[in-house]
Amino acid sequence: MKIPCIAVDDEPLALQQISAYIQKTPFLELAAECQSAVEAMDILNTTDVRLMFIDINMPDLSGLDFVKSLTVKPLVVFTTAYSEYAVEGFKVDATDYLLKPISYSNFLKAANKAKKVLDGEKKRDAETVNVTPDHLFVKSEYKLIRIELADIKYIESSHEYVVIHLVAGAPVKTMVSMKAIEEHLPGEQFMRVHRSFIVNLSKITVVERSRIIFDGKVYIPVSDQFKSAFQKYIDKNFLT
């Protein structure tokens, strides 16, 4: 499976080059081209992007500040014409750093480094989640914890972790990707409604303005990417 990527750069020629490199690389897939961090934010909120090539120096909101602002972020490869930004880039856990002008060979090295990280995540996911028809086991703080599917209220992505919020008891934090846990859950019971949220459909009691409200205090947004599927679920169960 190809890795969904976005390219972010305010310079059209630089953006075109990175986009062409992504399309040239067999294991990468170009999900979007963005000329600003604001455009990239919209894409990240609606698309499951796993890798982002982003210029550090951009007007209004720099690549560094944008990445720092993200609660949930893909792997990041910074691009820039200024080598002094390399240290700052790695301070925000960048996977790699590319100095302009960028050759394809250097781009490919960075892409392969990202692929290695993601391949490791897939292996970890396979070892971390074990699901049966009515419950799952997850690794949390060196322990295997059994969670009944019926007890799950919603699941939230939090940095490199997933937090499983329960009807009763403390949330369970496990180091696994949202994609992996989504693939293991029964689709008739659970639905991805946002890049950062999966909800147990049977636990929804209030929906207001494209938001799911739990306990009157937790507001989960339904993003554009998932709005159609969620609306079909509502329509199917709506009494007139």
Residue 176 dihedral angles phi and psi, to the nearest 5°: -150, 155
Report residue 125's pLDDT band, with 50, 70 and 90 as the boundaries. low
Q: Which helix (H) or strand (E) holds 130?
A: strand 129-131
pLDDT reported for residue 176: 80
Contacts of 197 (CB under 8 A, 6+ apart): 154, 155, 156, 157, 220, 221
Domain boundaries, the chain: 3-125, 132-236
The CATH classification of domain 132-236, taken from the options 3.30.470.10, 1.10.357.10, 3.90.1330.10, 2.40.50.1020: 2.40.50.1020
How far is Cα 226 from Cα 228, in angstroms, rounded to an integer? 6
| pLDDT on residue 150 | 93
- pLDDT, one tens digit per residue, over 191-232 is 999 988 999 999 999 999 889 999 888 999 998 888 899 999
Kindly report, residue by residue over 152-185, the tens digit of the pLDDT: 999 998 767 889 999 998 999 888 878 878 888 8
Q: How many C-beta atoms surround the C-beta of residue 173 within 10 A?
A: 15
CATH of 3-125, one of 3.40.720.10, 3.30.460.10, 3.40.50.2300, 3.40.1160.10: 3.40.50.2300
